[in-house]
């Protein structure tokens, strides 16, 4: 079968385009036959992946950052759901700044090793989350997290993880709070929140474990909600979001981590919403989450 490579040249502030020759050399050295298409506009990866599925390409390789991969995932799933085809495997060529999905799935961020992983043709089926009809492979959130995303989009320097950290500090200083009604399987909550973050995987933003016990193979969403009324309390707990085990922020008595196949959120005043780091709405009141279990085959390194 012939692979379709969908490259977002803008990923990592145009660094993905600069690495195109290196990427193509890796694919050639790994003996992977492919056709390459570059996106030219935001969201175009959805359409290109959709067309690639209908054209019979397999696998489909997403080259870029987490937003680029998310677009390709949505294009694949749209085509599969409409045509009732079996989904082709997704391969990941990590060219972003954080490469969260690759890290979570233990796919090498080194391009040579990523090429080897694709050539091994070893597949594992992962879950996907769905938020307001948009698929997400890694995480989604309302409240503080997308507010930080909006802030970091306005920051040109520094780059990478440091930019996320700076945006986080700015977001915290705005003392975020939303009044919400939450409902999930066997539970509910009404009251204030600083954030509601929903994970298919554990790591987001390069080093934050916002849903530290999320598992992309367990058939469940993992979400965290909590409210801390002061900037000082939020800043004190912030370093604990970088811990996955003992000492994680979810151990704080005001923070709650839940596993459920679905979650409904009604925000009393509008909140931004993101999926896989891409803003889906700057102001929404109703958010519906569900899990689509074991629905996407992904090329994962064979470590056996």
Examine residue 297 and state whether it is found in any structural domain, yes or no: no
Are 197 and 149 contained in the same domain? yes
Same domain for 281 and 154: yes
Residues 143 and 69 in one domain: no
Q: How far apart are CA 216 and CA 259, in angstroms?
A: 12
Domain boundary among 93, 121, 149: 121
304 part of a folded domain: no
The domain that holds 92 is classified in CATH as 3.40.50.10330
- Residues 247, 153, single domain; the answer is yes
Give, in order, the Cα–Cα distances in Å from 284 to each of 85, 102, 127, 268: 33, 30, 25, 10
Tally of domains within the chain: 2
- Contact indicator for 221, 135 with CB cutoff of 8 Å: no
Q: Percentage of residues in the chain with pLDDT exceeding 70?
A: 99
Give me the pLDDT at residue 156, please: 75
Q: Backbone phi, then psi, for 137, in 5-degree steps?
A: -100, -25
Dihedrals φ, ψ of 238, to 5°?
A: -55, -45
Distance CA 124, CA 77 (A): 16
How many CB atoms are closer than 10 A to CB 229?
A: 12
Domain-located, residue 130: no
C-alpha to C-alpha distance for 29 and 115, rounded to whole angstroms: 8
Q: Is residue 67 part of a domain?
A: yes
pLDDT number for residue 304: 67
pLDDT in tens, the chain (304 residues): 799 999 999 999 899 999 999 999 999 999 999 999 999 999 999 999 999 999 999 999 999 999 999 999 999 999 999 999 999 999 999 999 889 999 999 999 999 999 999 999 999 999 999 999 999 999 999 998 899 889 888 887 776 667 778 888 888 888 789 999 999 999 999 999 999 999 999 999 888 999 999 999 999 999 999 999 998 999 899 899 999 989 999 999 999 999 999 999 999 999 999 999 899 999 999 999 999 999 999 999 987 6
246, 195: one domain: yes
Say yes or no: 89 and 209 in one domain: no
Rounded to whole angstroms, the Cα distance separating 257 from 98 reads 24
Cα-based angle 129, 208, 98 (whole degrees, multiple of 5): 80
Q: Is residue 245 part of a domain?
A: yes
Residue 53 structural domain: 3-121
The reply to whether 164 and 220 lie within a common domain is: yes
Flag whether 265 is in a domain: yes
Looking at the fold, whether 56 and 169 belong to one and the same domain comes out as no
Cβ neighbors of 250 (< 8 A, separation 6 or more) are 212, 213, 224, 256, 257
pLDDT of the residue at 131: 98
Among the candidates 77, 93, 121, a domain finishes at: 121
Q: Say if residues 76 and 91 touch (Cβ distance below 8 Å).
A: no
Q: Is there a domain that residue 129 lies in?
A: no
- Do 149 and 113 lie in a common domain? no
- Do 66 and 147 lie in a common domain? no
The closest alpha carbon to 195, from 255, 137, 237, belongs to 255
The residue from 121, 156, 181 where one domain ends is: 121
* Residue 38 and residue 105 in one domain: yes
- Residue 202 maps to a domain: yes
**Residue 95 and residue 233 share a domain:** no
Give all strands (DSSP E) within 117-184, no chain letters.
Answer: 123-131, 134-136, 139-143, 178-184
Q: Is 248 helix (H, G, I), strand (E, B) or coil?
A: coil
Return the CATH number at 270: 2.60.200.40
Measured distance CA(70)–CA(289) in Å, rounded: 16
Contact 73, 85 (CB under 8 A): no
């Amino acid at each position: 079968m012939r692979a379709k490579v969908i490259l977002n040249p803008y990923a990592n502030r145009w660094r993905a385009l600069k690495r195109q020759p290196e990427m193509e050399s890796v694919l050639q050295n790994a003996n992977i036959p492919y056709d390459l298409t570059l996106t030219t506009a935001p969201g175009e990866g959805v359409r290109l992946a959709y067309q690639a599925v209908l054209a019979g390409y397999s696998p489909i390789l997403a080259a870029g950052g987490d937003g680029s991969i998310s677009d390709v995932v949505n294009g694949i799933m749209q085509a599969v759901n409409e045509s009732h085809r079996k989904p082709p495997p997704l391969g990941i060529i990590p060219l972003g700044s954080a490469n969260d999905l690759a890290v979570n799935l233990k796919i090498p961020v080194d391009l040579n090793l990523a090429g080897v992983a694709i050539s091994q043709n070893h597949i594992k089926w992962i879950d996907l989350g769905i938020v307001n009809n948009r698929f997400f492979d890694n995480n989604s959130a309302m409240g503080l997290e997308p507010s930080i995303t909006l802030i970091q989009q306005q920051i040109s320097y520094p780059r990478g993880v440091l930019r996320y950290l700076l945006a986080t500090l700015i977001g915290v200083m705005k003392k975020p709070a939303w009044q919400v009604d939450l409902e999930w399987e066997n539970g509910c909550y009404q009251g204030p929140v600083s954030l509601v973050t929903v994970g298919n995987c554990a790591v987001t933003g390069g080093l934050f474990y916002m849903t530290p016990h999320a598992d992309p193979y367990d058939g469940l969403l993992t979400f965290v909600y909590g409210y801390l009324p002061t900037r000082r309390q939020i800043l004190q707990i912030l370093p604990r979001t970088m811990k996955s085990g003992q000492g994680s922020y979810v151990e704080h008595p005001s923070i709650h981590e839940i596993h459920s196949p679905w979650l409904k959120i009604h925000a009393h005043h509008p909140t931004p919403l993101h999926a896989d780091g891409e803003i889906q709405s700057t102001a929404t009141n109703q958010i519906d989450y569900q899990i689509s279990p074991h629905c996407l085959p992904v090329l994962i390194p064979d470590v056996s």
